[in-house]
Chains A and B, each alone.
Chain A
Amino acid sequence: MHTHLKTNTILSFLLLLILITQIATASQLADAPSSYQGRIRPTHVYAQQWLQEIYQKPSIKNIHLNQFPTELATPLQLLWHLHFQGTKAVQNSPLFAIRQSTLKQALSLDPKQEHFSYNQLCKTLTTNSMKSDDKVTANELASLQQKLNSFQLINERPDNSYEKTFLELKGKNLSNQEIAQQLEQQHPLDKRLAQAGTLFRLLPSRKKQGEWLSLHALKTKVYDSTTHSLIPAGNFTRFPDSSFQKIRQAYVKLEQSYVTDIRHIEEQFAELEFLLIEAYRPLIDLPFLQAEGKQLRYPSESQLYAETLYFRYPWIEATIACYLVALLLFLAATTLTSRLLPIAGAVLALGMILHTSLLALRIFILARPPVSNMFETILYVPWIGMILGFVLWSYSRQKLPILTATIASVILLLLLKVTQINIGLENVQAVLDSQYWLIIHVLMVVGSYGAFILCSLLAHQYLYHHLRNHTTKLDELAKAILQTMYIGTALLIPGTILGGIWAAESWGRFWDWDPKESWAFISACTYVAVIHLYRFRVVGDRGLAIGAVAGGLVISFTWYGVNYILGTGLHSYGFGSGGEGYYLAFVAAELLVIASTCILYKKLI
């Protein structure tokens, strides 16, 4: 089996290598880059993310499709329509997702429904002048109002006041210079460009660093004092002049066709996209936002392509499926025939490859370690578990840790799907923007969670087998529990102390009893206590297992509870709400496990 697994692993890593080279050699960018929420993304991804933001799904659900005009089935089609024709056609379509039941209640909306139309929400908001004392509901309401406002803003186009002022001034018998001056004074060009539109920011501004302008800005006109007339504005982008002219022509043609004659619209879209990509190429890797000691650069084509790949395939689902199938095959192999073992190993390795690729893609796209929000840690923690399981297997041929890690991965990744945490790729908070410390401190501490979760699950198995008197597996399990606990502690304590040094170096204090710090301390205390009790033979293997379960509970609070239940403190990246009830049920169940095993063992003795 081992040789099989090894070959499989090598094969799978080759697969990974192919994927990486495919990204690295992506010569033809499939998608023009656009700016959305402070990041540069491929346009398809932008459209999906835009929809995700208000609809909370990357594409429109089948049951809703009949409530949208038929030609607007994909996010990109929808967005182009909004861009050219405004929101009128979809104002009665269920585009706005509201999950929170208290908010629905406060707005007297149907509690069974999840999606509501713009008109419906505007009506309820004007009739129910609501105020919520509940902080979460109030926040949700504010964010909903903001979404409705920006939806409304899509319709706002620059009016013809510039032209009007021009005609007025023309009649006033002023010199050309005076006209130019007064026009600029009353309608500054920068302001007109910035307010040209809110969607499709595909034009990097020449003047304001990092700012991208909507395609609508291409139609902006300026006064030309030599011809004494209004002409299209000169190149206001960072694109080369020749590209800019071509882009403008293509865009104006596209807009006309979109409204009048859509027969060749696909080719026209393709042409505009091609021109935008061509124009973007010279910018790659140039800095667009400078700050002290750091800068942001235009992403490379491979990075943009990787982002397209990231959203194109269901990575998480595929990983879960592989892990689940591998687990079933292992079960079948132990009960039915051992021939299935190599296949199980191969599927498991494939799962690990997918899992690793998902993390690798995020690291490559965002150019930072994948541990700066809840979503990333839920990916990273089980991955550490898997790696640890793999290492233990390759050193001591224990199968249990890796299988347990697979179970943990399935549970955590499923949790990721069920809770629908935003999978998007977002910017890191300013405080966390220190690669060096992020790698050292956060990778270590969050990595330790992986070890501890593995440890806790192994302990559950130990307790189960102990109750059933399956003595054969107990020693192996106890050893694995101790090993994972040691590895976890060896990551957690130095990681936390290094965090203290980071704090001392960056904020001038070593330790301040911030809740996250406090709970890291509590976790360390728990494991140190268990290890001391075990090493000095106050407790045996059973005690170790019970301690590991208790430790897992503490770790779960450090990880989830501090952010979602306590919700205060300086480590506020990825604070959120939701799932408190389920979490408390989990805590209660774990406490029950600890209490019942303690009582049962007393009886057994």
Chain B
Amino acid sequence: MKSAFHYLGSVYFAVLLILTTALMVIAGTFIESRTESHRYAAYFTYDSALFALLLWGFFINILFAALRRWPFRQRHVPFLITHLGLLMILGGTIIKHHQGLQGTIGLMEGSESDQVFIANTHAISIETRTPQGTLQEFRLLKNKSGNLQPIVAAIPDLAIRLLEYHPHAEVHLDSWIKGNSCYIAGIPPFAIFDTRNNCSITTLPVSSRVTLFGNQTCDLMALRCSDPEKIAERVYQQQILSISPKRTLLFAQDEAGDTHLYAYDLDGQVSSQKFSSTRPESLSSYNQGYAGYAVSAGISFTSWGVKEIETPLTISHKAIPSLKKMEDNIPVAVLQVTVGAKSERISLPYDKFGTDLKWPVLDGAYLVSFRPLFVQLPQRIRLRQARQINYPGTSQPYSYESDLIINGELERTISMNNVFESWDGYRFYLANISPGQEGAVKMAQIVVNYDPAKYYLTYPGALILTIGILLLFWLNPYKHKS
């Protein structure tokens, strides 16, 4: 027991700890350089259990090293001061981790918010359509299937169960083509033909013939193919050669999942549009999203003018191996949402900044999203203007600045190295402004920080450590300890 105490407070243990930590950090920097991913490196090193263990090791080592010297003499003073400084810094960091706040607000010029999100946290947020807009959040722990615990229970009878969690997935916003059918609002879905495995086919099949917009007869074709342009040309040929050509709408999905819509009129006119599977070009939301979202296409023919067709927008995902650059991963949570007797299964991709679409569940009674944890601030921050000032005649920035209005009255400008601190200790930093070009509406990322321990632990600790090191240097440094 006694020898264990002595070892834990010994210089051997100290050097072992120092060198192991140094080696881990070295590994971390090289992993980060290779993968260009700070989080990947952190996952294996700084955030690992071993690293936490090493920090505790330091704590014990420093403490025991001091206790071993009991009763203290005058010559121990520099040693004690240095190590006290270290303990204070360590303690300050731990307290900030548990009681402090480190969040981000993303604000467009002109917008306002009193919510910060904590980057890299995972939560499910669900809201109702009541006038008060009740919001409930669930903390989501990765890889732990089962019932989620609400942070504050605000909606009665609501239970959310995590069914699956995928660290990375390909997320598609599906418009016209979903699964094996093609959807146009108002008419029954029609089948999709896959041309990729049917190279020899001579005539491309028509899936359905319908009457659109009252009295217009239209042929509908839906295909999966590798080259939509080529297919569109073949359909054109078919049209010209046909004895009785029909107005035709062709939906062709390419390998990337994007859908191309070609419309053929009787007189040989063709118009085309592309619908991206990652970013919708047009979007209608019904009932603020509670009744879902839709994508529309305008079909313009000289014979009938411009007519619109519409399809509901849904989301789908395919789990794929996780990337080394963890920052680029899009995790997906598959959830079972239950309220009373009603239940629905939904899969949600992670919305990194909490600004994307929220999806309706249980017949549009709730909106749900998978996003970082949001925290309410005592302040409301409005971004009036954000700007980047360059050195004249160059694109090298001289200053980044943002004009903020706090709680609707106080106006402050923050810039790099120039922070706003509220009376209750919340500090606002300008972290980023995008995009850089002149004229565009800018978005500023503002980091909000609250550190209750820094003035009585971290900063004084740093000062004490510095004094300790100077004292150690000043007092007798050239002799071996006898």
Interface, chain A (partner B; CB < 8 A): 35, 37-39, 201, 209-212, 288-289, 291-294, 296, 427, 429-431, 433-434, 437, 479, 482-483, 486-487, 489-490, 493-494, 497-498, 500-501, 504-511, 513, 515, 518-519, 521-522, 525-526, 528-529, 532-538, 562, 565-569
Contacts and interface: CB of A to CB of B under 8 A. Distances in A.
Q: Residue among B12, B398, B466 with the most chain A CB within 10 A? A: B398
A497 B19 CA distance: 20
A298 B427 CA distance: 34
B416 A433 contact: yes
B46 A479 contact: no
Contact of A538 (B11, B89, B93): B11
B469 interface: yes
B32 A515 contact: yes
Nearest to B35: A568
B226 interface: no
Interface of B: 11-12, 14-15, 18-19, 21-22, 25-26, 28-30, 32-33, 36, 38, 41-42, 45-46, 89, 93, 96, 102, 389-394, 396-401, 413-419, 427, 429, 431, 447-449, 451, 454, 458-459, 462, 465-466, 469-470, 472-473, 477-478, 480-481
Contacts, number: 180
Nearest to B466: A494
B399 A294 contact: yes
Contacts of B473: 486-487, 489-490
B413 to A, nearest CB: 5
6 contacts: A210-B392, A294-B399, A504-B449, A504-B454, A510-B93, A535-B11
Contact of A493 (B394, B454, B458, B465): B465
Nearest to B414: A292
A288 B398 CA distance: 13
Given A212-B392, A289-B398, A525 B21 contact: yes
Q: Residue among A513, A536, A538, A569 with the most chain B CB within 10 A? A: A513
B466 to A, nearest CB: 4
A35 B392 contact: yes
A38 B46 contact: no
Contacts of B478: 479, 482-483
B18 A497 contact: no
A205 to B, nearest CB: 9
Given A515-B33, A518-B25, A525-B22, A292 B398 contact: no
Q: Residue among B394, B414, B470 with the most chain A CB within 10 A? A: B394
Contacts of B42: 513
B54 to A, nearest CB: 11
B481 A506 contact: no
Contact of B12 (A291, A433, A498, A538): A538
Given A292-B415, A508-B447, A525 B19 contact: yes
A500 B462 CA distance: 10
Q: Shortest 7 CB-CB distances between A and B: which pairs? A: A38-B391, A210-B392, A291-B399, A508-B449, A494-B466, A38-B394, A525-B22
B431 A510 contact: no
B93 A511 contact: yes
A535 B480 contact: yes
Contacts of B38: 513
A160 B419 CA distance: 51
B398 A430 contact: yes
Contact of A525 (B18, B429, B451): B18
A339 to B, nearest CB: 34
Contacts of A479: 478
Given A508-B447, A518-B25, A518-B28, A532 B480 contact: no
Contacts of A507: 429, 431, 447
Contact of B391 (A39, A506, A562): A39
Contacts of A35: 392-393
Contacts of A498: 462
A292 B401 contact: yes
Nearest to A294: B399
Contacts of A433: 398-399, 416-417
